[in-house]
Structure 1
């Protein structure tokens, strides 16, 4: 049996945020509450709650008598979140290294090969998340792992969108994952793992900048 369904406000929030990040809603786009509510088959209340949350994240601007307008990613805190992921995940991964089992390593190799072969970019993005999840799963500091998982949830929609919009990211990611597998297989060094994962995740900032620039071009078109 599946778990409980997410609240309607959460569903609305996730979907509107996805549309902003993917460029379906470009900067300047006006969010019409009733239209979005009809589209998502919910009432106006959860849509307003979602917009309020997006306003707090600086993805949306709300003005009295005007309504909600998309700001896009440029003024958002994604960059800070990505930096936080880079620092925290590098530590979590290094703590996980000594505890990874043979089964974990087999699964990482399996996921890597699936990513190399995968043509569907959305599926590829989910496989990428699974790779990082398995890699960090044996972290001995559970509080750090929970903090990282929370940060992952905040940046996941951006990363998934980037893989879909920029297929060239695939080979770069595959190459780094192969480096990680080499470290885990040949010389499981926590220090080396920390260095590779930090640089791998920090490179996501460049991806973020490219997505922001793409949104800006679309807004000007």
Structure 2
């Protein structure tokens, strides 16, 4: 796959960076996956120079870890960083939802209800699909924030949500036990918006909803995706 044909406005390093980042985000590259520069250079039909630069950018963002004698690997789960990201996301998503709520239409709310109904069907199914649930859950919360007039808050929220979703996809921490409680929270959030509840009340509940998800996740992380530093006694 020749990256130079993908975009005439991006450098080769930027194109490789985008491709690698997409693969980490969508779960094709899971924690511990080795990024072998020569193999990637051959795949993308570039020299190792832009690949090395792209990997350095990913390392600076925390997506990749470089270890002596091993090389570059997709980062594992640092529980401290994950907690920080979730707490940050709780604050940002609550603010974005509170700012967005007065501008949401009945059509927006009905769409959120449909998404939550699909999640409820998944929860009640005998074959729960956590991947499908996470996708619907992401759409639900994004739709609630769609009318937020503060673009900076939305940008920061999206960046944190992306980082959190990488961890969730790679570790499968978002399981049915939390999902059954989460859909009830969603219903209450919609009720608060429809009733015109004070912004402070809505933001408080959205924030607590996200923090409850964090508390559940911390109990469910499988050991194989946790970084050595966090698994040490």
TM-score by length of 2: 0.71
Partner of 1:8: 16
Contact 1:74–1:212 (Cα < 8 Å) also in 2: no
Instruction: Report the RMSD for the aligned CA atoms in angstroms.
Output: 3.4
Structure 1: unaligned runs, 5 residues or longer? none
Shift of 1:167: 3.3
| Whole-angstrom distance in 2 between the partners of 1:95 and 1:140 | 7
Q: Deviations over 1:91-138 (max 9, x none)?
A: 111112222111111111111101112343222211111111111112
1:89 aligns with 2:98: no
Structure 2: which 5+ runs fail to align?
Answer: 1-5, 8-13, 123-127
Aligned pairs (5 A) from 1:135-214: 135-161=144-170, 166-206=175-215, 207=217, 210-211=220-221, 213-214=223-224
Give the SS at the match of 1:77. Answer: helix
Partner of 2:102: 98
Match of 2:10 in 1: none
Query: For residues 210 and 184 of structure 1, do their structure 2 counterparts lie closer, same or farther at Cα, with a shift above 3 Å needed?
Result: same
Structure 1 residues 30, 142: closer, same or farther in 2, change over 3 A? closer
Q: Which moved more, 1:83-92 or 1:186-195?
A: 186-195
Does the Cα contact within 8 Å between 2:171 and 2:222 map onto a contact in 1?
Answer: no
Q: More deviation in 156-165 or 178-187?
A: 156-165
**Against the structure 1 CA distance between its residues 189 and 8, is the aligned structure 2 distance closer, same or farther, given a 3 Å change threshold?**
same
Query: What pairs with 1:18-167 in structure 2 (closer than 5 Å)?
Result: 18=27, 24-26=30-32, 30-35=34-39, 41-43=43-45, 45=48, 47-63=51-67, 66-69=70-73, 71-74=75-78, 77-118=81-122, 119-161=128-170, 166-167=175-176
